[in-house]
Structure 1
Amino acid sequence: MDMMSGTKLDVIWSPIHHDKFILWGSDITLYQVSRLKDIEKKTTYTQISSIRGATVIASQSANGVRSVDISAIPEQPEPLLALGHANGRVSLASLKQAYDPLGIVGREFNPRYPRLCNSVSWSREESNLLAVAMEKHRSDHCILIWDVNKGSSPPDETQNSVMAQSDNAKPVAEMGLSETAHSVSWSNRSNRTLLASMNLKFIKIFDLRDWSNKGVAVATSRYCHGAVAEPLSGWQVASRGDHVVCVWDARAFSRPLLTLPQQRPVTKIQWCPTRRNLLLSLHRDSNTLRLHDIQQAHNDPNRAVNITDATVNISNVY
Structure 2
Amino acid sequence: MRVFVVLASLLMASPLQAAERINVVASFSILADFVRAIGGGKVNLTTLVGPDSDVHVYTPAPGDAKRVAEAKLVIVNGLGLEGWLPRLVQSSGAKAQVVIASAGIAPLKLGSAADPHAWQSVPNAKIYVADITGALVAADPDDADLFRAEAKAYLEKLEALDREVRDAVAKIPPERRKVISTHDAFGYFAAEYGVQFIAPLGVSTETEPSARDIAAIIGQIKAQKIPAVFLENISDDRLIRRIAAETGAKVGGTLISDGLTGEKGLAPTYIDMVRHNIKALTSALDH
Q: Structure 2 length as normaliser, TM-score?
A: 0.27
Instruction: Compare the two structures and name the one with the higher helix fraction.
Output: 2
Instruction: Compare the two structures and name the one with the higher strand fraction.
Output: 1
Q: Structure 1 length as normaliser, TM-score?
A: 0.25
Higher normalized contact order (CA 8 Å, seq sep 6+, divided by chain length): 2
Q: Larger radius of gyration, structure 1 or 2?
A: 2
